[in-house]
Amino acid sequence: MGLNQKVEMITGSGATPILVTGGAGFIGSNFVLDWLKTGGPVVNLDKLTYAGNPENLASVASNPAYQFVHGDICDAELVTALLRQHRPRAVVHFAAESHVDRSIVGPEAFLRTNIDGTFTLLRAAREYYDSVAGEERAGFRFLHVSTDEVYGTLTPEAPAFHEETPYAPNSPYAASKASSDHLVRAWVHTYGLPAIVTNCSNNYGPYQFPEKLIPLMIANALQGKALPVYGDGQQVRDWLYVLDHCRAIRTVLERGRVGETYNVGGGNQRSNLEVVTTVCALLDELVPESKFKPHRQLVKYVTDRPGHDRRYAIDARKLERELGWRAQESFETGLRKTVEWYLANAAWVKDVTSGAYQQWMAQNYAGRDAGGVSVAAKGRTIVASGESAR
């Protein structure tokens, strides 16, 4: 089926599509799958970098309400053409480089995608918005999905991040996302673009690339590999189940106020100690035949990464108060669903953890061995990596 034919099918159905960027990634693919359950058409623009996987969306590949476009958000001509062809009622912008460790090793890609890419989208969206009128203009929204890491780090006793918390990013990744947030704000106030920003806490759930904490621990434990632990593992994060996040984005898109920021959190602050302990206990229970039980014996300490933020916490009361959204999953229920999904989708994990993934893991953890001390050998408390989860 050619591009023009597919465009006609979507726009000719009577329903107005949304344009999603980065919809083959972790959060993006969960959002696309959730959105299509309502029958709403989606155009998905994704560059398919290492973390973008079209297999995440194999179940909807033949759905006439879904179109995948392989392309770069930095390609201004392509972005402009997609807006003109599909005339979407919203742009939902997930596309981003998001792994803190990778941003430390190679920040250039983060500046290009997260800053230049967002600028390209904003410029094209403004031109499109200025070209439409009536209901199309009144209903158009640009929703920028960002992170709590733009706020920096919290001391143990500090109140959670709220929408007025000053930005203080500490990693190249966080700085690039803070920059993109500021660009969106500027396009609202200078050009009148009807944009909204959401800042979320650490996501977890199905389809997350196994360089992030929870899927990495699951994948390694099942193979009897070491579970690498950064520093003392006492970093605290607020954990948000990905489908709760998708529901929040849908809510903000439908009822959020233009120019506002909404923080999205799961209300589940956990130290990485608690996260890894819970993952290991679930694997002990769900894989009773594993020869690596108890899985906690696989944990070992490695050298911490530079500038590692100590604590994140999100105050989501504005979203709850104004729009009526609340997270439906507790950390315990969401994590069980997540572990069960990875156990049921071993083929997916195998496909995404070969080749370049193995090279990256070797590069990232080389020199972090810290003596290769295991928890079992030293009798020390199990702790967890402080990995970002976007």
Catalytic residue among 66, 129, 173, 241: 173
Catalytic residue among 46, 72, 101, 149: 149
Structure tokens at 129: 């918005």
Q: At what angle do helices 331-344 and 272-286 cross, to 10 degrees?
A: 50
* 3-class secondary-structure state, position 289: coil
SS3 content of the chain, % helix, strand, coil (to 5): 50, 15, 35
Q: Which of 364, 377, 369 is nearest to 301 (CA)?
A: 369
Q: By C-alpha distance, which of 337, 343, 388 is closest to 30?
A: 337
Task: Let me know if 149 is a catalytic residue.
Answer: yes
Q: Could you tell me which residues are beta bridge partners of residue 261?
A: 197
Q: Give dist(CA 100, CA 376) in Å, integer.
A: 29
Active site residue 173: yes
Q: Do residues 25 and 52 touch, judged by C-beta distance below 8 A?
A: yes
What is the Cα–Cα distance from 245 to 203, expressed in whole angstroms? 8
Task: Provide the residue type at 17 as one letter.
Answer: P
* Annotated active-site residue in 46, 148, 211, 274: 148
Amino acid sitting at position 385 = S
Helices first, then strands: H and E counts in the chain: 16, 12
Q: Answer yes or no: are the C-beta atoms of 144 and 197 closer than 8 Å.
A: yes
Cα separation of 214 and 380, whole Å?
21
77 tagged catalytic:
no
Phi then psi for 66, rounded to 5 degrees? -120, 135
Residue 18, both tokens: 């949304």
Q: In b/e form, how buried is each residue of 268-289, taking b as 16+ CB within 10 angstroms?
A: bbbbbbbbbbbbbebbbeebee
Interatomic CA distance for residues 58 and 61, integer angstroms: 5
Ramachandran bin of 15, using left for φ above 0, alpha for ψ from -120 to 50, beta for the remaining angles: beta
Question: Hey, what are 380's tokens?
Answer: 């020390």
Catalytic residue numbers read 148-149, 173
